[in-house]
Structure 1
Amino acid sequence: MPASLENSRPNRTHWLVTLYAGGGEFCDGYILSIIGVALPLVTSDFALGGAMSGLIGSASLIGMFVGGLVFGYVTDKVGRQKVYLADIAAFILLSVGQFFVSDPWTLTVLRFAMGIAIGADFAIAGTIASEFAPRRSRGPLLVVMVTMWSVGAAAAYVVGWLMMTSGHDDWRWMLASSAVPAALILLLRFGTPESPRWLMSKGRTDEARQVVRHMLGPDADLHDLEAEADSGGVRRYTDIFRGEYGRRTLFIGVFWACQLLPIYAITTYEPTILASLGLDHGDSAYLGSVALQIFFVLGSLSGILFINRGRRPLLLWSFALAAVPLLVLSLLAEPSPSAVLVLFALFGLASFSSQCLQAIYPSELFPTSIRATANGFATGASRIGAAIGTWGAPVVLGHSTRLAMFLGALICGVGWFVSFRLAPETSGRSLAETSSDRAPADPSAATPDSGTTSPDAPVREPS
């Protein structure tokens, strides 16, 4: 059988595209998490109240709402490659700009602009990685890509803790430090090929053929790309709200928001939360945050074990198990520091195990012509919930940490219910099949990958 994108084995190009897309996720996690370390210092330096502190903490999430809504659509129109480079360049400029701010409102504006760039990157990273990935390896490859967000978040807490020297400008160095990984990723992303699926959707068949043959050899077949291009027929932004696609848009927006609201609220104010629960001696709150980030990374990586056994059960079990430790924390009046760390570690393992679905579901449920648009809209819509959680967290935490944990558990329950009603099964199917608007009536009717799909064809490494 001639090699094609859907039936090939992952080769060097697949991994490089995945890792470069993951590099953007690393920067996203770093930028969104470093503010959690810096914010207590910013609050002290500018003598901020809870509302202004929450606004700075949530500004990037509000920006992501705008960036996702706008640049997902732009990406579908002008191509993956251009946005792929521009958003990382913006990271560098805005990161450096944060060092020189003189008032909280300027910092808020810069964080908002940073969020626009992050929203654009979220829309493009999962889209471009999924469009290169073979069907049986798409899940594991995107797990690796999404895990880079958790690695970036963990790195932010480590770097932030190391930079905490009790100096007046510590927070400036922390926020500006994101320019370093962004510059490295920008250099690596140069030379990334344009998505052959996007080229096919624009009628640029010869260019698509050249990219695929460079990856897979001179006899590479384009039939799977042609099948998806022929099954499309949608071009407008509003197509993601119509018919079956409207149902899918509702699903991914709600489940993504329910995943992110407790995660962002907890990670942004993790040192504050841990201090309120008893880890308030010296650097214990920050060291506890670093330790928890390790479990978040492990949780994200654990998705590799389950992703090809079924997207739907992974999402349902993740929500159910993530709710339990938050509910327990809401019931304990004075938990011990060790119990706090164990429960948060369990929350991280459970909730992050399905983070890969934030990239996989939008990419698999929509055709090439609106894939980035849908991904961008889901990014933006989900950040409404995340921004509400991040802005409201200081207010709720000021009232009661136990109430905050109960609300987190309740949101996980809402996510489980919506996923139970709407989550489809897409494992082991080609993008042409999963993105068709002819979905089974039963969300779980599709059979997960059992290893009986098209056999892998030999591939040739790109020169």
Structure 2
Amino acid sequence: MSTVAFPSTTVDTPAQTAGAGRPAVIRSAQDVSRIVNAGAAKGSNARIVIAIALGGVFLDAYDLTSLAYGIKDIARQFSLSPVQVGFVSSAITFGAILGALFGGYLTDRIGRYRVFMADMLFFVVAAIAAGLAPNAWVLGGARFLMGFGVGLDLPVAMAFLAEFSRVAGKGNKAASVAAWCPAWYAATSTCYLLILGLYAILPEHHLGWLWRLTLAFGAVPAIAIILVRSRYISESPVWAANQGDLDEAARILKRSYGVDAVVERSSEPVKAPRAASWRNYGVLFNRTYRSRTILAATIGAASSFGYNAIIFGLPVIITSFFHQGPLTTIVAALTLNLAFAFVGGLIGVRTAPTVGAWKMTVLGHSLQFASLIGLALIGKPGSGVLVVLAILLLGGYLFGQGFGPGSHSMTYASLSYPTSIRGIGVGFNQTLVRSASTVSLFLFPVLSAALGTKVFWVIAVAPLTSLLVLLAIRWEPSGYDIDAEDYLDPLAVGGRSVNAVNA
């Protein structure tokens, strides 16, 4: 892949502007993008906006994970067959497929803020309905609605993370987007902590309420986000500028980015960014974006297929390893998430600006593949040594997920496209990713019942496939000014190979 040389420009950072005692001058959407890329002023709300966006990711992960432990109780309470368990489990991802398809378009069309607030309402209503579900049909419907909210949320959350961060240096766009991963695992761990707490305080004859309380709790953080939205969160300044509203972009820069900006109307013609349209799905496959789209989709789908099978089946897998009760299962699952997945996610954030996304994703997939092959070879461990080894291999898989594809599947999905098509790009990616999740969540109970631990051979195909595509397409998004592509001649846009990451 060729390297793109962008027009040489000099941009004062917010700190330099403030120190000089003069406001930043905005003549075009490109100027707004440059100001954002230079970094927020100290004391601004940009980090709070990023934290709120990560709160949306937290909800996504919590809602997807919250059914994992309780599915056995649900199957028993509603007398479900393995196929029916698969349908209930995958209902949320069916909803996420449609939500991502429409959410990506709406994020580009009506803006980040409006879509973000709409999906919070989905989370509140769906969580309460799922917790009160009288039968499997209502539970499946509530989970489908919840999934639609998840699908809406990820494109807009990724847009916020990318469009409120600097382009290079510590805490750059790649690091901010990669932070979705530890947020995801923090939510997963919170879910297990909540289950552990409820398990400790509920009377034994009321343990059947455990899954209901866990699902309903998802409404609590959603309500909290809704309550703080008006004070801190606003529209993306780059998106507002791309719509031609430079005055609104200047107000957002002042409110959320801590930058004083004045608008000067330019008499020179300015290239307008691409307008939001359903046709932009086709743009993802033009000469510029085709290889990036294929790479992002492969990483996302492979990561989702394997991770959902492992994380959803974790309680079942651990139970078969330890042959003990639910308390041991909960504690072991929580420990694995915190010690391996969450720590790996933090490493992914820390290394994004320096090592880059490509190398870390390759390393993560390699560790996952080796871990799955090891689990398949061990099978059902009989001795204590093999049990310990199997648990470590599960941890190795989650650790590789954390710093590799877990962190950077969204880096590739978000930072392979400029602002004008970022929502569409993430939405399309998530449509494919959630399709892989649906297949994984539906097939895992069936394949696990039929194959036992040999199911690890099937799961291992996912990281291997992604590894091969990564070796063929060496695209490195970290540190690359992707938003500048909105203002360049399409024929001049190329990309940057992984070999240029530290150039």
TM-score (structure 2 length as normaliser): 0.83
Tell me, which stretches of 5 or more residues in structure 1 are unaligned?
A: 451-463
Root-mean-square deviation (CA, aligned residues, Å) is 2.5
* Counterpart AA for 2:259: G
Tell me, which stretches of 5 or more residues in structure 2 are unaligned?
A: 1-10, 14-34
Q: 1:144 aligns with which of 164, 175, 179?
A: 179
Shift of 1:230: 4.6
CA 1:86 to 1:449, structure 2 compared with 1: closer, same or farther past 3 Å? farther
**Corresponding residue for residue 316 of structure 2:** 272
Percent sequence identity over aligned pairs = 22
8 Å contact kept, 2:59–2:222: yes
**Corresponding residue for residue 33 of structure 1:** 65
Equivalent residues in 2 for 1:224-239, closer than 5 Å: 230=272, 232=274, 235=277, 236-237=279-280, 238-239=282-283
**Corresponding residue for residue 25 of structure 2:** none
Deviations 1:130-173 (A, max 9, x none): 01110122122223333211101111111123223442322211
CA 1:147 to 1:243, structure 2 compared with 1: closer, same or farther past 3 Å? same
* Counterpart AA for 1:172: R
Shift of 1:409: 1.6
DSSP-derived class of the 1:242 partner: coil
CA 1:197 to 1:449, structure 2 compared with 1: closer, same or farther past 3 Å? farther
8 Å contact kept, 1:85–1:190: no
The answer to whether residue 260 in structure 2 is matched with residue 218 in structure 1 is yes
Taking the aligned partners of 1:340 and 1:189, their CA distance within structure 2 comes to 44
8 Å contact kept, 1:365–1:434: no
**Corresponding residue for residue 236 of structure 2:** 195
Shift of 1:351: 1.1
**Corresponding residue for residue 461 of structure 1:** none
Equivalent residues in 2 for 1:56-205, closer than 5 Å: 56-136=88-168, 137-164=172-199, 165=202, 166=204, 167=206, 168-191=208-231, 192-205=233-246
The answer to whether residue 331 in structure 2 is matched with residue 300 in structure 1 is no
8 Å contact kept, 2:57–2:184: yes
**Corresponding residue for residue 362 of structure 2:** 316
CA 1:23 to 1:233, structure 2 compared with 1: closer, same or farther past 3 Å? closer
CA 1:274 to 1:449, structure 2 compared with 1: closer, same or farther past 3 Å? same
Taking the aligned partners of 1:277 and 1:269, their CA distance within structure 2 comes to 12
Shift of 1:313: 1.1
The answer to whether residue 365 in structure 2 is matched with residue 365 in structure 1 is no
* Counterpart AA for 1:362: A
**Corresponding residue for residue 39 of structure 2:** 8
Q: 2:442 aligns with which of 378, 384, 391?
A: 391
Q: Which moved more, 1:290-299 or 1:207-216?
A: 207-216
The answer to whether residue 375 in structure 2 is matched with residue 325 in structure 1 is no
DSSP-derived class of the 1:135 partner: coil
* Counterpart AA for 1:26: F
Deviations 1:186-239 (A, max 9, x none): 22233412101111111111111222244243258999xx99975647743332
8 Å contact kept, 1:429–1:449: no
**Corresponding residue for residue 498 of structure 2:** 444
* Counterpart AA for 1:251: L
The answer to whether residue 316 in structure 2 is matched with residue 262 in structure 1 is no
Taking the aligned partners of 2:270 and 2:218, their CA distance within structure 1 comes to 38
CA 1:228 to 1:97, structure 2 compared with 1: closer, same or farther past 3 Å? farther
Q: Which moved more, 1:297-306 or 1:432-441?
A: 432-441
Taking the aligned partners of 2:496 and 2:112, their CA distance within structure 1 comes to 33
DSSP-derived class of the 2:447 partner: helix
* Counterpart AA for 2:330: Y
Q: Which moved more, 1:205-214 or 1:20-29?
A: 205-214
Q: Which moved more, 1:375-384 or 1:236-245?
A: 236-245
* Counterpart AA for 1:243: R
**Corresponding residue for residue 390 of structure 2:** 340
8 Å contact kept, 1:329–1:405: yes
* Counterpart AA for 2:298: V
8 Å contact kept, 1:72–1:375: yes
8 Å contact kept, 2:300–2:409: yes
DSSP-derived class of the 2:80 partner: coil
CA 1:249 to 1:35, structure 2 compared with 1: closer, same or farther past 3 Å? same
The answer to whether residue 436 in structure 2 is matched with residue 426 in structure 1 is no
Taking the aligned partners of 2:387 and 2:196, their CA distance within structure 1 comes to 20
Shift of 1:289: 0.8
Shift of 1:251: 2.0
CA 1:162 to 1:434, structure 2 compared with 1: closer, same or farther past 3 Å? farther
